[in-house]
Structure 1
Amino acid sequence: MLEATPLGEGWILRTPGSTAAALPAEVPGCVHTDLMAAGVIPDPFLGRNETEVAWVGRRDWTYERDLSVPSGHEQTDLVFDGLDTVAEVMLDGRPLGRVRNMHRSHRFDVTGLSGRLTVRFVSAYAEAEAIRGKLGERPAAYAEPFQYVRKMACSFGWDWGPTLVTAGIWRPVRLEHWSTARIARVRPLVTVEEGLGRVELAVDVERTRVEAPLAVEATVGGVRARASLDGTQAVVRLEVPSPRLWWPRGYEEQPLHDVELTLLHGDEPLDVWRRRIGFRSVELDRSADAHGTGFTLVVNGERLFARGVNWIPDDVFPSRVTRARYRERLGQAADAGVDLVRVWGGGIYESEDFYDACDELGLLVWQDFPFACAAYPEEQPLRGEVEAEARENVVRLMPHPSLVLWNGNNENLWGFRDWDWEGRLAGESWGEGYYLGVLPRVVAELDPTRPYTAGSPWSGGWERHPNDPAHGTHHSWEVWNREDYAEYRANVPRFMAEFGWQAPPAYATLRRALPDEELAADSPGMLHHQKADDGNGKLRRGLERHFAFPEGDFDRWHYLTQVNQARAVATGIEHWRSHWPVCAGTVLWQLNDCWPVTSWAAIDGDGREKPLCHELRRLYADRLLTLQVREPGLVLAAVNQAAEVWAGAVRLRRMSVEGVVIGETSASVLAERRSVALVGVPRELEPAGPKEFLVADADGLRALHFPAPDREIPYPRPEFEVEIVPGGVRVTAGTLVRDLLLQADRLDPAARADRGLVTLLPGEQVTIGVRGWETPDPETARSALYCVEPSR
C-alpha cells in the first residue's frame, strides 16, 4: 500500500554567498515569514516596512534538510505540492530537476537515495527579467514583470496589495513509498440525467511492474463497480438512482457523497483515492435575445441571479491561510448573502480547503485561470508550463460541485482592445492563444461538464467590444474612476462581473497597522496603505458629490468614506437586481484583502467587516425592496429570489426630514418566485425637493428614496438615546437619524457588531448586538456611534 511520509520538519534557510547563520524554516511557508520569525525583518504590513524588505524578493534563497529514504518499497517519490517559484532541487549535490511554476506540483524519483536535500530558489525577478529579455517586452497595467513568470501575479503588487515577491516551499512536501503501481490521476465526471446520477472515473496509474494484472474498484452512494486496467488506464462507471441534488446556498441543501477508488493487485490494495462529490447540473445560457447576449448560470435547471463577490488571496503570504481561516472568511461571505465567489486571475488556484468550504457552504465558484491585466507571451518556456498547470488544476478541482465556471483571464481581452496594447505589440503573442485555444481545449477534453468563458469581461467574440454591457460579462470602472456612483444606473449589463467603491479598513485595523502615527487621510502611513492610482483623490471627489468634505477630521472622514462605499454598492446592486432577468448577476469587487489597506473590500485585511459587508446582507437577501427612478416616475421594485411567491402589502410614506408624514398610502405587492414585481409610486407621494424623502415598508423590509445628495438636505441635528441591554446597545431616535453606525472595534479591538448602517425615523429604535466588549457602558457606546449630520 502506498505510504506517505510528511517532510515538514527539519528545514533551514540560507541565502547563497552569505556568511550569516542558517535560520530555521517553516514548511509550508516562505522566506518572508521565516525572516520575520527570526527577527531579521520587520512585519511588512506595519507602517511603511514594506519598502524596507523589498530586498528579500531580489535575493536567491536555499532551503535544506537531511533526507533518508527507507527501503522496503520498489519506488520512493519526493513530492512537492507547490514550489514558489523558480528552483533547482538537488539531493547530495545531484540535480533532481528544475522547476519554474508556482501553480504546479512536482514529483522526483529518489528511490535508494539519501543525503542533503537542497531546494535552491532563484529570485522571481531574475527569472522574469531573463524571460522578458528572451521573448521581448509585453504591456501590462503595472510596471512589475509578473507576466513573464508563472507565479501569483499580485506578489508583485496591485492597486490594493503590497509588493512582496515571495519564494519558498509554499505547499506541503512528502515522500511517497509504493510498489507495483500507484494512482497517478483520477478524473471524475459527475452528471445528472433524468434523475440518475452518473459518476465516471477515468484512472491513470504509474507502474513499476508492467506485467502485473491490476484492477480498480470504486464506491459511491452504496453503489460499487470494478474495472480492469488496460496498461496504465481504466474507466469505472457508477450509476446512483435518484441522488439528492447539491444546490447553491439559499436554494436547497448541499448533500455531499464520499467517493472511494482503490487500485488492486489481485486482492491486495496498492493505493486509494478519496474525494467528496455532489450531484448537480450546470449550464451557462449565452443565448441571444432582444437585449443582446445573455450570461445566466443555470443550476439543476434553475436560472440564477448570481449574488457574487470577487476573491483575492487572503494573505500576500498564502501559506499562512489555514483551513479555519478559509472557513471563517467564506462563512462571512455566506452570512452576507453571497452565493458565488469568483477566484480572480491575479492570484492562485486555491487549496482544497477553500473548495471544500465552498462545497459545504453552497458557494458557487467561478475559477479564473491565473492571468490578469497584462499581455502574456505564448512562447516557450511559458507555453508548456501554462498547459501543464491547466491540466493539473482542472483535474484537481473537478470533484468539487461548487465549481461551476472556468474563465480564461481577467481583463486581458479588454486590455488588448482598449489599453493601447495592439499597436505596442506589433504582432507579438499576448495570450489570445491561451484564452481562445489552449485553455478551452484543455477544459473540453478534461472537464466537459462545466462551461468555459474566454475572459472577463468578454462579449463572446471580436465582432463586438469585449466590454459591451449588452453582451456577456461587463466590468464597470469608469464610475469609480471618474463619475458619481449614480451613474451605475445608466445601463443594464447582462452580467456585472466587476464593480466597486473604496473605503478605508476598520479603525482598529488601522491602529494596529499604523501604531505610531497620528491618523489623517493623507498621513504618510495612510498614503502608503493606499495603492490605487490617485485613490485618495477619487475618495475625496466621490465624497464631495454627496457630503461636505470633513477637512482635518479623520474620524468623520473615516465614517463618511465607509458610508459612501456602502451607498455606492447599494446603488448598483439595487438597480441591477431590479432588472432581473436581463441582468443575471453582480460580482462585487472585492470580498477580502490580503493586508491592511484602503481598498474596495467588504472585509478588511484583519478580517473585520466594513459597513459594506453588513449592507450586502440586505442587498443579497432573497427578498429586496428598492425604490427606483424609471420612466415616467418612481417605482417600487419587489425583488423576490425566494422559491415562494411574495404577496403582501407595502406602506408608502412621503415624509419631511423633520419627521412629519406629508402623504401616505398602501399598495399590494405580488412577486412570483424568482421574479421582480414593479409597483408605481403615486405622483402625489414623490418627494418634492431636498427637504422630503420617501419610505416604503413591507414585511419587515424598508426602502428609502432621498431625491438630493446629503450636502443639500437640511437634516435636523440628530438626537438619540443610548442604553446598554443584554448582548448589545439599544438606540432610540428622537429625530431622523440617517445611516447610524456603531463602530464596535472602537469599543474594543476584539468587539464585533451584528449590523452596519441603519436609518431610524423619529421614535424608532434599534438594538445592535455586540460581542467581545467586556465592560459596556452607555457613554463609551455613544462615543462609537456615528451618523450623518447637517452640512457645516
Structure 2
Amino acid sequence: MTTFSVQRLRTGWEFKRTNDTKPDAWLPVAKVPSVVHIDLIAHDKIPDPSHDTNELDVQWVGEERWSYRCTFRSPRGDNDRTSLVFEGLDTFATVRLNGTVILESDNMFLEHRVDVTAAIKRPDGEPLQDTNTLQIDFDSAPARGRALMEAHPEHRFVGTLGGNERMAVRKAQYHWGWDWGPTLLTAGPWRPVRLETFQSRIDDVSIRYSLDESLKCCQGTVSARIDGGAGSHVRITLCSPQERLVFENRSEVGPGGLAVARFELSDPCLWNPHGYGDQHQYLVQVELLDHGISAHVVTKKIGFRKAEVINEADDFGKSLYFRINGVDVFAGGSCWIPGDMFPPRVSADDYREWLTLMVRGNQIMTRVWGGGYYEDASFYDICDELGILVWQDFMFACGSYPAYPTFLESVELEARENVRRLNHHASIVIYAGGNENHYIQEHFDLSYDWADKDPQSWLKTSFPSRYIYQYLLPKVVEEEAPSVSYRPDSPWNDGLPIISFDRTTGDLHQWNVWHIAMRLYQDYHQIGGRFNSEFGIQSFPHLSTINQFVTDISERHPQSATLDFHNRCRDHEQRLATYIRNNFKATDSNLKNWVYLSHLLQSEAMHYAYRGWRRDWGSKNARRCGGALVWQLNDLWPATSWAIVDSSRLRKAAFYGLKRDLEPVAAGVVRTHHDWTKAGAHPPAASAFDAWIACDGSLAAARLLEAGRGALDLELRFISIRTGLDALPPRRHRLAGVRPNGTTVVCEAAPLANPPTRDAYVILAKVLLGEAVVARDVDWPQPFKHFSFAESRGLRVRLAESRARIEITAARPTKGLLFTERRGLSFSDNGFDVMPGEEYVVEVEGLRKDEELEWAYLGMDECPEGLTNGLTKGLSKGLTGLTNGLTNGLNGLIKRLTNGLTNGHA
C-alpha cells in the first residue's frame, strides 16, 4: 500500500505572454507561487512599480493574457490515485494537462483539486508517458470583469474605489488600486501547486467544542472526512500543551467517509489573548489506518477559549465589546491590509515580524480588511501563538456586488472553504460580511427595505448583495464555525435601519477626522462610537524610505509630483497641509521637517483618540467604547498613508503613542479644548480639565493594582512651556481604590486658569507607586503653533557606554522627541514628551559602534541647542569628509610615488 505523498511543484516553471508565438518567448520562473509582475521584474521586462511613477508604465500588464507551464514525471503505483492541487489561481485560469483542459477557474480565493490519475497513468499503474506538461493560461481580470458587467445589465456595479468591473471578479479588490495603494492587476499561480499520490486520504478535519460557564469542562467532537477510505480506521488523539496524551479514539470510517470522535476534558488549559494568560494549544492528530498501516496523518492545533461579543442595551445605546474566558477585553489594535503589492512575496517570517510588532506595541486585536485576501495559514498560526485576536472580514469591500446564480455559487464555495480552513484558529473571534458595503447602499441610494425579511426578494432589488451579507455568509458561518460571532458588515449598527455613522450602537468607521467634515483631531474623544473599527490620519513614510523610492533627488521635496503620486487619498494635499498648518508652525518646504511634523501630527491625533476612547471603557455593564482599531498598521508599498508602520517596517511616532496609550495601566489628563479660531470667537479666560486612570483586565494590571493597594497616587504638575517652572502648585491625590479593568476618574471638570499664550503651561499626570512612576500623560495647550520654543529646551541625551540605554532629561517641556529609525535598530519608546524634573530611559537594540543617534523635537529649529546640534553635526560631517579627503589624497600620492620608484621613475 502507498502512503499519502506530496510533490510540490515549485521549480521548473516558465511563463510568457499567451499570444507571443516566438520560439524564445518562454522565460524561466524562479519559483511558484508567483504572479506575472514578479517574473517580469526579475527579467527586467518592467521597472519596479514601487519606484518613482513606474506604476504608470506597467498598466499594460493587467490587460494582457499570460501563461505558465512546467513538466513533472508520472508517479508509479498499481492502485494509487493522483491529484493536482492548486491552492490559489489568480484569477481567470484555464488549466491544461498534456493539452487537455482539466480545470477552469474564476475565483482567486478557491483551492482546486483535480483527479488526474487517468490522464497520466494506464490502468495497470504504468505511466502513459514519463513527462507530463502542465500549462495554466490566465485571462485578463479587468477585461473579463468588463465582459461580465455587460452580460449582467440587471445589476448595478458601483463602488467608491477602483474600476467598477472589480465587483464582478472574485479577486483581491485592492489590485484595482485603493486610496493607499497602486493599481497592479496581477495574474499567476499565486499560491502553491502540488501533486498528491495516495490510495486514501484525509480530506478535512473539523474540531468543534464548547466550554461551560465555569470554564472547567470542555466538550467537543473531532470529525474527519475521508476520501477513498472505505473499510479503513481512524485514530484520533488529543495532546495537552504539556505534550501529554489526554484523549484517544479509534473508530471505523463510516459509509459516507466520515469518522467522528467525541471528547470531554476537565480543567482544560485555556487559550488567552496576550497579557491575559497563556496561549495554550492542544495538538489534534488524525491518523488514517489502512489494514493497520498508517496511510495519512493530519495535525492541527486548537486553543480552547470562550469568545463572546457583548451586545446589550445600556445608558449609551447598545454595547459592542469582547469577553474572552469571562474577562472583558478592551480591543485596542489596528487594521491589517495585505502585506505586499504581490501576495507571493509575503513569507511566514514577514508575518511574524509584523505581528510581533503588534504585540510589542500592546495591541491585542487586528482586523483583516475585506478588500485583500484570506491570509495564509501562517498568519493565523502566529496570531494563535502570540495571542492576537482576529476580526476577519469576508472579501467584499466598498461596492455593490452582483448576485446572479453562478456568482453566488462561487461565493458560497469560497466562504465555506475558507471558514473550514480557519475554523480551528483560537485567534479568530468574529467574522464580518465585508467592509463599508452598506455605506455604498446609502451613498448610491440603492433600494433597501428594512422591514423586508425575505432573502429571495432581496435578489430582485438594486442592492442584491444584501443576500450575501445577511443570508448566505451568516448561514455558512453558523454551519462551519458556530462558536464564532458574525456581523453583516463593518460598520454595522445592530438592529437599526442602516445608518453607517450611528455612534450609539455597533461598530463605527469614524472618518469625520481627515475625511468628510475634517473635524479637529482634538475632537476624537467626542465623536467615538461603541467600537471604533476604523479611523486614522495620514503621515509620510520615513525619510530613508522616501530616499529609496524617489530616485530623482530633485523630487525629494514636499508637493513633488513623485511624492504626490505615492499618496492616493482624494484631496490629500489639502487635508495633510491643513492639519499640519492648523497645529504646527510650518513655514518652509524642508522635506525632513514635513516628514517629522506629519509623524507628530499622526501621533497626536491617535493619542487624542485612544486616550479618550480608552477612558470610555468605563466599567462593567457601562462600556461606552469596546475597542479601537486604527486604520492602518502596515503599508504594502512606499506611500504617504494612514499606516503607523511604513513599508520598510520602520515604526512611526504614532506606533509608540499607541503603545503608551495601551499600557495595562495608563494615566489620562486632558483640558477642555476651545476652538477659538472661528469667526467672532476669543480665547477663553478659564478652562477645566479631567484626569483619570485606565486599567485593562490583563494580569500585569491586576498585579500592579494588587501591589499598589492603598499606595497609588496621581500627581499633577502644571509646568510653564517658557520657563520650565511650575506655573501652579502641584497636586497629589492618594487613590483609595482604582477600578480594575475600567476607568477611575480622579478629577472631572476641575477649574483651570487659562493664562496668556506666553505663560501657557502643560499638565503632567503621573501614576506613582511610592516614588516609582507607573504611567505618565501630558496635556498641552492647543494648537502648538501658538507657542514659542525659542528658549532653550535644555535637552540632554546621554548614551550609555553599552550603547543599549539612552537617558534623557530636559530643563523645559519638550514636545515629541523622535529618534531616527532604521531597519535593525529598535527603541523601547520613541516620539515622547520630556518634562523637567523627570528622567526618561529608552532601551535601544542594534546601534552600531560607529553610529550616531539622530533625533528631532518640535521647535528644534527655533531653540539654541537645536541650532547648535545641527551645526555640530554639520561641522562633524564636514570635518570627517575633509579628513577622509586629505587622507585619501595622501594615500594616493604615496602610492603613486611608491609605484614610480618601483618602476624606476621619480
**TM-score range normalised by the length of the shorter chain:** over 0.9
Runs of at least 5 residues in structure 1 that lack an aligned partner in the other structure:
none
**Structure 1's 786 and 695: CA in aligned 2 closer, same or farther, altered over 3 A?**
closer
Matched ranges for 1:295-694 at <5 A: 295-422=320-447, 427-463=461-497, 465-481=499-515, 482-518=518-554, 519-580=556-617, 581-629=623-671, 633-641=688-696, 642-644=701-703, 645=705, 647=709, 648-657=712-721, 658-661=723-726, 662-669=728-735, 670-680=737-747, 683=750, 687-690=754-757, 691-694=760-763
Mapped partners of 1:429, 1:522: distance in 2: 40
Mapped partners of 1:707, 1:724: distance in 2: 31
- Residue 624 of structure 2 aligns to a residue whose secondary structure is coil
On the 8 A contact 1:251/1:643 being kept in 2, the answer is no
Match of 1:721 among 770, 778, 796: 796
- The letter for the 2-side match of 1:186 is V
Mapped partners of 1:682, 1:398: distance in 2: 48
On the 8 A contact 2:715/2:730 being kept in 1, the answer is yes
Q: Provide the residue aligned with 1:159 in structure 2.
A: 179
- Residue 572 of structure 1 aligns to a residue whose secondary structure is helix
- Residue 526 of structure 1 aligns to a residue whose secondary structure is helix
Q: C-alpha displacement at 1:246, in angstroms? A: 0.5
**Structure 1's 769 and 514: CA in aligned 2 closer, same or farther, altered over 3 A?**
farther
Q: C-alpha displacement at 1:329, in angstroms? A: 0.4
CA deviation vs aligned residue, 1:304-348 (integer Å, no higher than 9, x gap): 111121001110111111111100100001100011111000011
Mapped partners of 2:745, 2:146: distance in 1: 57
Which stretch has the larger CA shift, 382-391 or 702-711?
702-711
Runs of at least 5 residues in structure 2 that lack an aligned partner in the other structure:
121-131, 449-458, 618-622, 674-686, 864-906
On the 8 A contact 1:733/1:761 being kept in 2, the answer is yes
On the 8 A contact 1:307/1:620 being kept in 2, the answer is yes
1:702 maps to 2:707: no
Q: Provide the residue aligned with 1:75 in structure 2.
A: 81
CA deviation vs aligned residue, 1:611-631 (integer Å, no higher than 9, x gap): 111111101111111113579
On the 8 A contact 2:671/2:779 being kept in 1, the answer is no
- The letter for the 1-side match of 2:149 is R
Mapped partners of 2:841, 2:324: distance in 1: 38
Mapped partners of 2:847, 2:326: distance in 1: 47
Q: Percent identity?
A: 31
- The letter for the 1-side match of 2:198 is W
- The letter for the 1-side match of 2:303 is G
Q: C-alpha displacement at 1:743, in angstroms? A: 1.4
- The letter for the 1-side match of 2:224 is V
On the 8 A contact 1:713/1:790 being kept in 2, the answer is no
1:89 maps to 2:95: yes
Task: Calculate the TM-score normalised by the size of structure 1.
Answer: 0.95
- The letter for the 2-side match of 1:606 is S
Mapped partners of 2:146, 2:418: distance in 1: 27
Mapped partners of 2:811, 2:552: distance in 1: 39
CA deviation vs aligned residue, 1:203-253 (integer Å, no higher than 9, x gap): 22222x75x354453334321123333212222112222111100011111
Mapped partners of 1:569, 1:406: distance in 2: 26
Matched ranges for 1:211-230 at <5 A: 212-221=231-240, 222=245, 223-230=247-254
Q: C-alpha displacement at 1:535, in angstroms? A: 1.3
Mapped partners of 2:582, 2:477: distance in 1: 46
Q: Provide the residue aligned with 2:816 in structure 1.
A: 739
CA deviation vs aligned residue, 1:25-50 (integer Å, no higher than 9, x gap): 12011111111111211111111111
- Residue 238 of structure 1 aligns to a residue whose secondary structure is strand
**Structure 1's 219 and 159: CA in aligned 2 closer, same or farther, altered over 3 A?**
same
- The letter for the 2-side match of 1:560 is L
Which stretch has the larger CA shift, 143-152 or 316-325?
143-152
1:781 maps to 2:850: no
Mapped partners of 1:138, 1:628: distance in 2: 46
Mapped partners of 1:5, 1:709: distance in 2: 63
Which stretch has the larger CA shift, 459-468 or 330-339?
459-468
Q: Provide the residue aligned with 1:240 in structure 2.
A: 265
1:170 maps to 2:187: no
- Residue 178 of structure 2 aligns to a residue whose secondary structure is coil
- Residue 283 of structure 1 aligns to a residue whose secondary structure is strand
Which stretch has the larger CA shift, 338-347 or 139-148?
139-148
Matched ranges for 1:12-91 at <5 A: 12-18=14-20, 19=22, 20-25=24-29, 26-72=31-77, 73-91=79-97
Mapped partners of 1:688, 1:682: distance in 2: 17
On the 8 A contact 1:7/1:175 being kept in 2, the answer is yes
- The letter for the 1-side match of 2:300 is R
CA deviation vs aligned residue, 1:137-187 (integer Å, no higher than 9, x gap): 4110124132111111111110001111111111111111111x3212222
- The letter for the 2-side match of 1:413 is H
On the 8 A contact 2:224/2:286 being kept in 1, the answer is no
Which stretch has the larger CA shift, 29-38 or 712-721?
712-721
Q: Provide the residue aligned with 2:874 in structure 1.
A: none
**RMSD of aligned Cα (Å):** 2.2
Matched ranges for 1:743-762 at <5 A: 743-745=820-822, 750-762=824-836
On the 8 A contact 1:716/1:735 being kept in 2, the answer is no
On the 8 A contact 1:593/1:603 being kept in 2, the answer is yes
1:102 maps to 2:108: yes
- The letter for the 2-side match of 1:666 is R
- Residue 590 of structure 1 aligns to a residue whose secondary structure is coil
- The letter for the 1-side match of 2:35 is C
On the 8 A contact 1:414/1:458 being kept in 2, the answer is no
Larger-Rg structure: 2
**Structure 1's 689 and 678: CA in aligned 2 closer, same or farther, altered over 3 A?**
farther
On the 8 A contact 2:177/2:183 being kept in 1, the answer is yes
- The letter for the 2-side match of 1:168 is G
Q: C-alpha displacement at 1:455, in angstroms? A: 0.9
**Structure 1's 515 and 464: CA in aligned 2 closer, same or farther, altered over 3 A?**
closer
Q: C-alpha displacement at 1:729, in angstroms? A: 4.6
- Residue 467 of structure 2 aligns to a residue whose secondary structure is helix
Q: C-alpha displacement at 1:590, in angstroms? A: 0.6
Task: Calculate the TM-score normalised by the size of structure 2.
Answer: 0.83
Q: C-alpha displacement at 1:421, in angstroms? A: 4.2
Mapped partners of 2:465, 2:756: distance in 1: 53
Mapped partners of 2:608, 2:189: distance in 1: 44
Q: C-alpha displacement at 1:298, in angstroms? A: 1.1
On the 8 A contact 1:414/1:467 being kept in 2, the answer is no
- Residue 514 of structure 2 aligns to a residue whose secondary structure is helix
- The letter for the 1-side match of 2:150 is G
Which stretch has the larger CA shift, 676-685 or 394-403?
676-685
Mapped partners of 2:141, 2:87: distance in 1: 19
**Structure 1's 197 and 266: CA in aligned 2 closer, same or farther, altered over 3 A?**
farther
How many residues align structurally? 782
Mapped partners of 1:740, 1:243: distance in 2: 47
- The letter for the 2-side match of 1:655 is I
Match of 1:202 among 223, 243, 260: 223
Mapped partners of 1:405, 1:121: distance in 2: 34
CA deviation vs aligned residue, 1:66-117 (integer Å, no higher than 9, x gap): 1222121431000011111110010111010100111110011111434211
- The letter for the 2-side match of 1:225 is N
- The letter for the 2-side match of 1:437 is Y
**Structure 1's 649 and 776: CA in aligned 2 closer, same or farther, altered over 3 A?**
farther
Q: Provide the residue aligned with 2:166 in structure 1.
A: 146
Which stretch has the larger CA shift, 360-369 or 644-653?
644-653
Q: C-alpha displacement at 1:549, in angstroms? A: 2.5
Mapped partners of 1:707, 1:716: distance in 2: 17
Q: C-alpha displacement at 1:190, in angstroms? A: 3.0
CA deviation vs aligned residue, 1:422-480 (integer Å, no higher than 9, x gap): 49x99334411111000000011111111111111011235352331101101101111
